[in-house]
Each structure stands twice: as structure tokens, then as C-alpha cells.
């Protein structure tokens, strides 16, 4: 690939750039720390470059997790001559790791990549061509993007702009997560110069008389954004402190005069104050909007609009986002709001209930965090509202911002009833509902989750805090807690978290028995498939499943063992992708990744297994598999024992007992008649107790009890 210059900072890619390229004279340096879940993805993006680098240097910065173990496997896969791994005994920060790799690089060009990011496949082709075209440029960067918006193909027209010292000091907009530079660049710097952060590198290059350019092209995917919606003051200060340190270092090297140094220091502090104000201390409303809201409330209470023209009211309603006065038909239609942390979770577990509510006459609203499947929610006719609340967030500022954002949403929408699903929506939503005077609240407890698994003292204290928060959430007068299994309900009653009259048992979230149906049974001549479909979490029993597969394969059983699902990277118990790929390459199991057509997947399986140690509600995987007439093997855990009846439609084994799990699977694999009988029994059980129609009817009974006269009298046309 090469560039053809068109002037004014515009270049065009020459034709034929999709053809395979030669090896690029580039050393790629990747500093990593606790990157077990992301380093394999980062390396895969480097290996997939159309112009592959000569070497990759990974510097582990004292990781204390599985990072080194995964890197050792990746060295075997890619070869020690291409992938070179170095380990620092103590964590000293990414700057030290970058310098360590820089000293061991051998190629004339060096490119940096963060271990939690990934490259566009044309990244090295574009940057190498640019650096070859412009030997006067010593440092080159580019724009970055999120994985959802990173374009799969690069445009033929590329723009670039050159960085100046004043531009870096007073209008710094660099957001480059990976850069390319010439290895001999250090000859421009004073002796003992060390690479700190990216801003320090750019400032040092330009301050020393070098030339740096930024390509106006997204070539890197950022998988871990630096700041969230609520703002992180500590991280903001760390970033700003890095800029201040860089300014001080450049000034000491006499690369900028004292007057510019003082002005830049003041400007940097002002930027920090502005960032902190716009993120962590964001103003709730402008003065004009606040006045409009007060006026709208006054008009709504008095009921007299004679003094205001309709043309004057409409702009206020649009500017403030306040709902206009509802018509008589809208006042007769009750509103239900579903509060769920993730869009995919709503579609899997509450879609059928929401559709049924819409059919009986509810106006359905859905609030989740922004995600790639929001469009599917809106296509169903539901109104979607994005949340600042995040399921995996642990930052207190973000949590407080998310809570008040929820209070503001409830006050603005004024739903007749809210249906809140899982821990955070229940705790935050119930308190927000009391502040916003929401008339009725339904809390769906979908299992007790990660916190209630046995652990150390820290988890014990966290469990007490969450139980106290649940207890406060249950103080609402018109509230019901829905439990998916009797064990969770009994736990809440025994701990006096909720009163018995507010605790309702509805088994599972329901399964569409028309969609998940039995098909042709497996034949003895076929290679039988044992399927585990779930999020790839250690607590789901992934390791136990793999070990049981090894035992049975050593015995010579003619069977395949499939894993379907992706790791939940926001969960601390996520199985690294590299480990899943390692198992897949070994041949013990076959990892399928994300699967959209689950009914078709179940039809290929002879047995469905879930050796979980997780406090499930009732696992959807087991419900769907039983509806498809498949025998089940699961652990004797709350939620599992409600759908798996030992000796009738499957087997229950002790959690963590690999030999017992292997024995149960072996027994089913060797007995075709047992598999058929268990499958028929499971299908009958689902039709009788777990169909989506039964769950919807039971949930609607709870809605009627809470709404009373507000229950819709007729179906929505």
C-alpha cells in the first residue's frame, strides 16, 4: 500500500492496497498488567494485520493473575521468534514497561498497543505507508473508536494534520491509544530521557524540534474507555497530573521558555477544573430550563392555561423534555416501566412479558444501559430510555450519578408501575421509586448471584450490606418481590428482609414452548453432543465440564463436548478468551462462542449440562433444553433442582464433583432409552409449570393486585 499526495493534508490510497503486503519493519510493544481477559484479543489483532510486524514484545508488569500462563500458551502458538515475552517482578506502571520494551526493540519503527485495545487490520499498512512517504515525520498517531463504531473498511481518502507545540499545550485533543515512531528518535532527547505517557512523548518530540502528525482515521478499537458518564475525579487528576509532569520535564530540558511553561501550567489546571465540573459535578439543569419546568408545574397544578398561548407552551415542552398534558385516552392507559441493567438481558428474560403487557393495554417503557440491541427493543414498539447505571461499576461517583439519574427519570415518566430486575435495579430503583412517588413496584429476584457464593470475610461483609439494602428497598407500601425458586424466597423470609405477604413465588421467567420443541431423537450411530450453554464464567462450572470431558474422552466414549456462550468481561469470574481458545485447540471441548439460534443448537445436542456453583434463579438454559426434550445434568443448587428432577428428566450432582459429573454424563451417553424417557418427562414438566403463558398469567395477577382500578379494561387496539 502507498499514498498519493493530493495537497492540503489529503492523501489517497493507491489501488491494489488489499493485496498481501510484505513484512513491516516494526517492533510492536504491548505493556500489560492483569490482562488475562484481553491480551489474546490484542495479539490476535496484531497477527491479523495485512502487513505483519517483524516482532511483538509483550512486557508483563508484575501481573498476579493468569496473564503469564496465558502468554506462555500464546508464545507456543505464535512462536518465540515473533512473540517475545518479558516479565517484570514488580508492578511499576505502563511507562516503565514501555521503556523496557523500547530498549529491546530491534526494528527501525516502533508501535505501541495497550493490552485492552485492538487494531484495525489495515493499521500497520496505513501507518507504515505514511511514515515511508514522509521521512521527516518522526511520530505518527491516529484517531480511535469504540468496537461498535470502528469501520470495518478504511476510506480511500485520508487526511492528516501536523501537531505544533502551541497546539499541544493549549488545545490538546490527542486521544491516541497507539502510536508509531522512529526508533532513533531518542537521539533528539537529553541523556537519560524516559518515555512516560503518550502526551509526554508528543510534547517531547515537538519540543525537541521533531515533527509529529495525526491521521484523521480510526485504526484502533478502545475496549476500556477512560471515563464514564458520571466522571472519575481521581482518574481525571491522574491524567492531568501526567500532563503537568510532562510540562515540567520539558521545561527542565529547556525545550520551552518559562513564560509558555507558566501559561501552560495554568491552562492545564483550568482544563482539569472544567473536566471535573462537566463530569463529576455536572449541573442538573440550565437556568432557562429550570424556569420552564417551574412554569410547567404551575400550569399543570392550576389547570388554567388561558394566559398562555398554545404556541408558547409547545416549545417549552420540547426544550425541557417534559411530557405534554396527556389526552383522556392516554390517562386511561396505564404505564409500565421495565428497569433492567442490560438490553440483552431484557430481550432474553422479559421480552415475552413486556409484549403481553403491551397487548393487554399497557404503555410499555424500557430503561437499560445503552447497548447494541437497543434497536431490537424499539422495534417491538417500546420506548427506550438510556441509563447511566452500569451493572459492573464499582465507582462511587458513578453510582451516585446513576442513582439520581434514575430518580430524575422516574419523576419525569411517572409510571403507574415499575418492574425492576436483578440486584442494582431493585436496590436503586426501589429507593428512587419512593423519592419519585411511584405508586407500585415489582422486584424480580433472578437468583442471589456472585455475592452470595461462599467466600472470604470481604464477601461476607458485602453480603450483609446488600441484605440491608434489600431490606430498605422493601419498605415501599405497594411492593412485591418475585422469586424464581423457593430457596431464595425462604432466604429472604428467614433473614426478615421482606414480609411474607410481599414475597411471591413464580417459577422462572418462562419459556416459549411453541418455539422450543422436541425434534428427532439422536441415533446410536451418531456422535453424541453434550452441550453447556451459558455465560463463560468459572462459577458456571466451565472448568468442571472440561475436566469431565477429558475423563470421558480418555474412556473412549464417542461424544463431543460443546461450550456455547461468551465471557461476561464485566464479571470478575469471567473465563479468559485465551483459555477457551486453548481448550478448543486441545480438542477436549469445542467452543462455539455466541449463538443466536438456540432452538437449532439444542436440536444438535443429546444432553444439556450446567454444573453451576452460581445462585441461579432458574437457569434459562435448562428450561429451554427441557422444552426441547433433552435430558439434563446439573448441580444440586437452588434453581437447578426446580427444573431437574433426579431420576425423572436428568441427574443432580454435587457442585464441584468432577467424577460424579462425568459418571452422570457417561450413564446418559450409554443409554439411549434413558435419554428419550428423560427428554419426554422434561417436556411435560415445562408445559405444566414453566411455560411463558403460565409465568405471564401469574405475573399479571401481581400487577392486578397492585394496580387495582388502574388495570386496563380492554386490549390495546
Please tell me the least confidently modeled range out of 19-23, 156-160, 421-425, 446-450. 19-23
- pLDDT at residue 206, rounded to an integer: 77
**Which residues 6+ apart lie within 8 Å of 200 measured at CB?**
242, 245, 246, 249, 250
Q: How confident is the model at residue 20 (pLDDT cuts 50, 70, 90)?
A: very low
Please check the confidence at residue 7 and state whether its pLDDT lies above 70.
Answer: no
Rg for the chain (alpha carbons), in Å? 29
**Cα 392–393–399 angle (5° rounding)?**
135
Contact between 700 and 513 under an 8 Å Cβ cutoff? The reply is: no
Locate 315 and state its grid cell.
416549545
Are β-strands 24-32 and 109-112 bridged in parallel, bridged antiparallel, or unpaired? parallel
Beta bridge partners of 634: 610, 652
Across all residues in the chain, what is the average pLDDT? 77
Name beta bridge partners: 383: 365
Average of per-residue pLDDT across 629-635: 92
- CATH number of the domain at 3-225, out of 3.30.565.10, 3.90.550.10, 3.30.1280.10, 3.10.450.50? 3.90.550.10
How far apart are the C-alpha atoms of 178 and 29, rounded to whole Å? 10
As a whole-number percent, the residues of the chain with pLDDT over 70 amount to: 74
Number of H helices, E strands in the chain: 26, 24
DSSP 171: S
Q: With bands split at pLDDT 50, 70 and 90, how would you rate the model's confidence at 10?
A: low
* Contact call for residues 395 and 232 (beta carbons, < 8 A): yes
| Least confident piece of the model among 297-306, 537-546, 555-564 | 297-306
Angstrom distance (rounded) from CA 374 to CA 642: 32
Grid cell of 246 as nine digits: 510532562
Alpha-helical regions (H) of 499-635: 542-554, 577-586, 598-604, 620-627
Quote the cell numbers at residue 546: 472440561
> Is residue 688 over pLDDT 60?
yes
Residue 663's pLDDT is what? 93
489 CB contacts (<8 Å, ≥6 apart)? Answer: 481, 483, 503, 505
Q: 30 φ, ψ to 5°?
A: -125, 105
| DSSP string computed for 94-120 | HHHHHHHHHHH--SSEEEE--TTEEE-
User: Quick one: DSSP state of residue 485?
Assistant: S
What number is the average pLDDT over the span 668-685? 91
Angle CA(447)–CA(450)–CA(453) in degrees, nearest 5? 95
> Which secondary structure element, helix H or strand E, spans residue 63, and what is its range?
none
Q: What is the CATH number of domain 528-690?
A: 3.40.50.2000
Confidence of residue 19 (pLDDT cuts 50, 70, 90): very low
According to CATH, what is the number of the domain 332-505?
Answer: 3.40.50.2000
**The three three-digit cell numbers of residue 442, written as one number:** 415489582
Between 196 and 132, the higher pLDDT residue:
132
**pLDDT at position 580:** 85
Strands (E), 405-488: 417-421, 440-445, 479-483
Cα(672)–Cα(662) distance, integer angstroms: 17
Residue with the larger pLDDT of the pair 681 and 281: 681
Asked whether 112 and 139 are in contact (CB, 8 A), the reply is: no
Whole-prediction pTM: 0.52
How far is the C-alpha of 586 from the C-alpha of 582, rounded, in Å?
6
pLDDT by residue (tens digit) across 371-396?
Answer: 778 888 988 889 999 888 777 666 77
What's the CA gap between 335 and 627, in Å, rounded?
A: 32
Question: CA of 367: how far to CAs of 301, 424, 434, in Å?
Answer: 28, 13, 18
Q: pLDDT value at position 278?
A: 55
Q: What is the C-alpha separation between 686 and 681, in angstroms, rounded?
A: 9
Instruction: Return the percentage of the chain with pLDDT > 90, whole number.
Output: 16
Phi, psi of 633 (to 5 degrees): -130, 120
Average pLDDT rounded to a whole number, residues 178-198 = 70
What is the pairing mode between strands 53-61 and 117-119? Answer: unpaired
CA nearest neighbour of 432 among 398, 468, 389: 389
Asked if 589 and 583 touch (Cβ cutoff 8 Å), the reply is yes
Amino acid at each position: 500500500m502507498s499514498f498519493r499526495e493530493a495537497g492540503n493534508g489529503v492523501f489517497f490510497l493507491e489501488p491494489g492496497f488489499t493485496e498481501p503486503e510484505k513484512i513491516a519493519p516494526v517492533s510492536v510493544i504491548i505493556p500489560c498488567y492483569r490482562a488475562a481477559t484481553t491480551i489474546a484479543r490484542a495479539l490476535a489483532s496484531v497477527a491479523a494485520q495485512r502487513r505483519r510486524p517483524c516482532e511483538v514484545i509483550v512486557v508483563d508488569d508484575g501481573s498476579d493473575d493468569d496473564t503469564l500462563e496465558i502468554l506462555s500458551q500464546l508464545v507456543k502458538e505464535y512462536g518465540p521468534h515473533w512473540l517475545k515475552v518479558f516479565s517484570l517482578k514488580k508492578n511499576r506502571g505502563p511507562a516503565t514497561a514501555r521503556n523496557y520494551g523500547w530498549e529491546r526493540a530491534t526494528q527501525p519503527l516502533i508501535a505501541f498497543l495497550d493490552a485492552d485495545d485492538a487494531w484495525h487490520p489495515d493499521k500497520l499498512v496505513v501507518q507504515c505507508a505514511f511514515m515511508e512517504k514522509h521521512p521527516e515525520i518522526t511520530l505518527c498517531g491516529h484517531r480511535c473508536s469504540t468496537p461498535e463504531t470502528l469501520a470495518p473498511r478504511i476510506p480511500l481518502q485520508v487526511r492528516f494534520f501536523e501537531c505544533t507545540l502551541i497546539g499541544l499545550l493549549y488545545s490538546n485533543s490527542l486521544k491516541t491509544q497507539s502510536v508509531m515512531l522512529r526508533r532513533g528518535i531518542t537521539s533528539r532527547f537529553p541523556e537519560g530521557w524516559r518515555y512516560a505517557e503518550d502526551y509526554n512523548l508528543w510534547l517531547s518530540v515537538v519540543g525537541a524540534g521533531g515533527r509529529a502528525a495525526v491521521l484523521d482515521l480510526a485504526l484502533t478499537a478502545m475496549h476500556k474507555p477512560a471515563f464514564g458518564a458520571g466522571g472519575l475525579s481521581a482518574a481525571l487528576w491522574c491524567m492531568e497530573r501526567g500532563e503537568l509532569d510532562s510540562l515540567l520535564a520539558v521545561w527542565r530540558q529547556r525545550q520551552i521558555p518559562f513564560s509558555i511553561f507558566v501559561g501552560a501550567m495554568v491552562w492545564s489546571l483550568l482544563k482539569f477544573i472544567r473536566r471535573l465540573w462537566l463530569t463529576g459535578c455536572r449541573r442538573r439543569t440550565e437556568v432557562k430550563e429550570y424556569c420552564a419546568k417551574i412554569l410547567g408545574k404551575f400550569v399543570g397544578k392550576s389547570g388554567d392555561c388561558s394566559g398562555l398561548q398554545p404556541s408558547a407552551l409547545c416549545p417549552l415542552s420540547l426544550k425541557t423534555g417534559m411530557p405534554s398534558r396527556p389526552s383522556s385516552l392516554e390517562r386511561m392507559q396505564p404505564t409500565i416501566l421495565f428497569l433492567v441493567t442490560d438490553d440483552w438481558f431484557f430481550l432474553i428474560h422479559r421480552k415475552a412479558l413486556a409484549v403481553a403487557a403491551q397487548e393487554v393495554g399497557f404503555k410499555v417503557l424500557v430503561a437499560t444501559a445503552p447497548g447494541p440491541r437497543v434497536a431490537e427493543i424499539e422495534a417491538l414498539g417500546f420506548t427506550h430510555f438510556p441509563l447511566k447505571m452500569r451493572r459492573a461499576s464499582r465507582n462511587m461517583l458513578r453510582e451516585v450519578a446513576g442513582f439520581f439519574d434514575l430518580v430524575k427519570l422516574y419523576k419525569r415518566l411517572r409510571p403507574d408501575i415499575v418492574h425492576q430486575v436483578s440486584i442494582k435495579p431493585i436496590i436503586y430503583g426501589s429507593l428512587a421509586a419512593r423519592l419519585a412517588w411511584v405508586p407500585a413496584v415489582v422486584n424480580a429476584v433472578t437468583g442471589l448471584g456472585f455475592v452470595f457464593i461462599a467466600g472470604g470475610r470481604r464477601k461476607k461483609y458485602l453480603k450483609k450490606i446488600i441484605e440491608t439494602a434489600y431490606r430498605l428497598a422493601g419498605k415501599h407500601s405497594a411492593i412485591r418481590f418475585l422469586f424464581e425458586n423457593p430457596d431464595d424466597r425462604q432466604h429472604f423470609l428467614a433473614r426478615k428482609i421482606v414480609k411474607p405477604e410481599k414475597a411471591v413465588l413464580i417459577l422462572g421467567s418462562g419459556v416459549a414452548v411453541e418455539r422450543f420443541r422436541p425434534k428427532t431423537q439422536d441415533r446410536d450411530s451418531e456422535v453424541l453432543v453434550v452441550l453447556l450453554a451459558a455465560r463463560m464464567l468459572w462459577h458456571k462450572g466451565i472448568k468442571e465440564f472440561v475436566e469431565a470431558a477429558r475423563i470421558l474422552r480418555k474412556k473412549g466414549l464417542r461424544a463431543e463436548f460443546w461450550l456455547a456462550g461468551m465471557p461476561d468481561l464485566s464479571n470478575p469470574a469471567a473465563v479468559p478468551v485465551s483459555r477457551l481458545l486453548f481448550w478448543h485447540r486441545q480438542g477436549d471441548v469445542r467452543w462455539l462462542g455466541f449463538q443466536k439460534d438456540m432452538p437449532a443448537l439444542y436440536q444438535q445436542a443429546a444432553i444439556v449440562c450446567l454444573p453451576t456453583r452460581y445462585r441461579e434463579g432458574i437457569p434459562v438454559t435448562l428450561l429451554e433444553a427441557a422444552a426441547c426434550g433433552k435430558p439434563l445434568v446439573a448441580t444440586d443448587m437452588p434453581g437447578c433442582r426446580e427444573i431437574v428432577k433426579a431420576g425423572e428428566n436428568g441427574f443432580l450432582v454435587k457442585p464441584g464433583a468432577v467424577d460424579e459429573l462425568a459418571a452422570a454424563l457417561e450413564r446418559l451417553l450409554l443409554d439411549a432409552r434413558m435419554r428419550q424417557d428423560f427428554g419426554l418427562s422434561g417436556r411435560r414438566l415445562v408445559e405444566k409449570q414453566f411455560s411463558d403463558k403460565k409465568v405471564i398469567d401469574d405475573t399479571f395477577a401481581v400487577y392486578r393486585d397492585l394496580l387495582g382500578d388502574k388495570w386496563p379494561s380492554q386490549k390495546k387496539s
